[in-house]
Amino acid sequence: MKRISDFFLRLSLQRKLSQSFFYGAIASVSVVTSVLVISTKTNAQTPAVNNTEVNSYAQAVLAMEPARQKAFEEIKKLIGGREIPKIVCNDSNSINGLSSQAKDIAVNYCNRSQKIVEDNGLSIDRFNKITVELQNNNDLKQQVLNRLIHLQKVSDPR
């Protein structure tokens, strides 16, 4: 018979893992996809993020994460013990500084990520704006975290 403490310990561990995954994924996504849309619409207000966009954003982040981890590991193997440089998909300088093989991996990842975002109903522009908004809006961050936890539970019912 399972003890109640085991149940709470498991829930606490699941929540910590989900939160760690969320913050890691958001940080990775923002590093990989940022440099953002500061160009043409600098002064424009970002409209509120609706529930559909929160869901689309969370689904895109979850779908991108395995590809991001794989690309990261492949680039890590290629560059050996050196520090992995910051790779930003819409900053060609960050990608051009990589070796030919690493550049191919990064470009492939960026192209797949863009398709994942669009397949989940968001434009790259909107995805990037939501990413920026997450850094400044704790309510939105909590909404996305809750959605990520829900999606993970649905995809991995135990």
Q: Which long-range contacts (CB under 8 A, 24 or more apart) does 131-134 make?
A: 131/26, 131/29, 131/30, 131/33, 131/34, 131/36, 132/30, 132/34, 132/36, 132/46, 133/46, 133/49, 134/26, 134/30
Question: HSE (CB half, 13 Å, CA atoms) of 125?
Answer: 9
The structure's pTM equals 0.69
C-alpha to C-alpha distance for 39 and 35, rounded to whole angstroms:
9
What is the pLDDT, as a whole number, of residue 29? 52
Domain edges within the chain: 19-38+47-155
Per-residue pLDDT 10s for the chain (158 aa) are: 455 555 545 555 555 555 555 555 555 555 444 433 333 343 345 468 999 999 999 999 999 999 999 998 998 888 887 887 788 887 888 888 888 899 999 999 999 999 999 999 999 999 999 999 999 999 999 999 999 999 988 876 55
